[in-house]
Structure formats: C-alpha cells, structure tokens
Structure 1
Amino acid sequence: MDASKADVYNRYISAVYWSITTMKIVGYCGLHAKSIAEKFFVVMHMVLNLGLTAYLIGNMTNLVVEGSCHTM
C-alpha cells in the first residue's frame, strides 16, 4: 500500500471512530484510542455492542408483546 492510500485509510478509520464514539456518547475524557489499530478495535467493539443491545431489546419487546397477546 503506498503512502497516499495509507493516509486515506488512516483518516477514514479516524473519522469512523469519531462518529461512532460521538453517537454512542462514551465520551472523550480519560482514555481514548491513539493508534489506528486501537481506533479500529474500538469501532468494532462499539458496533458489536450496539448490535447486541438492539437484539436484546428486540427480544424483550417481543416477549412483552407475546405476553400481552396471550392475556387478552
């Protein structure tokens, strides 16, 4: 990979890291990722956690809806 493509890749990972961190509201104080590898890991970790949270909330909602259907 030449230097110009590496620079674009690093800037892209940094931008995705910033946007996901902002959306997840985990904050920027204290500890934060400095290298590209750390930023990539944090992005993947937050995306997986977001998916897991959505899955769990969806299942809990489904249990409530199914339970209310059976009581009617």
Structure 2
Amino acid sequence: MAAKSGKKLYRVDPRPTSQTCSKCMHVDRESRNSEKFICTNGGSIDDANLQTARNVRKKARETYGLTIAKR
C-alpha cells in the first residue's frame, strides 16, 4: 500500500517497544497491562497502543536518521 501511494516503508524491530516508557525509557513487561500502559518506574499512564507507536517512531528516527515533519 505504501509503495502504491509513493511512500517509503521502513522496517523497525518492534522489540521491546510495547514494554518501554516513551517518557523515561524504562523497560518492564509489567508496565503493559492489556490496553493500558502504566510505567513501573515513573508512573506515567497512557494507551498501550499509542505508547508503542511513539516508541516505534522514535526507533525509526534513530535507526534511519529520519526527520519526521508535522503536517
């Protein structure tokens, strides 16, 4: 789908993005509680899917040296 619309697709290793706090970068599988993410280190609370998406985006930026512009 991305290629058809002229977009580039980058592969990112998802490990352990669903268990990492995007605020303090603490990794703990206990932080992930079904659809909620509650950091066992700093206590931040977020939607687990949004938390993972933030970490995947950060990992893509670091891995590929990307600058992601806001629209």
Give TM class, smaller chain. Answer: 0.3 to 0.5
Q: Structure 1-normalised TM-score?
A: 0.32
Between the two structures, name the one with larger relative contact order (CA 8 Å, sep ≥ 6): 1
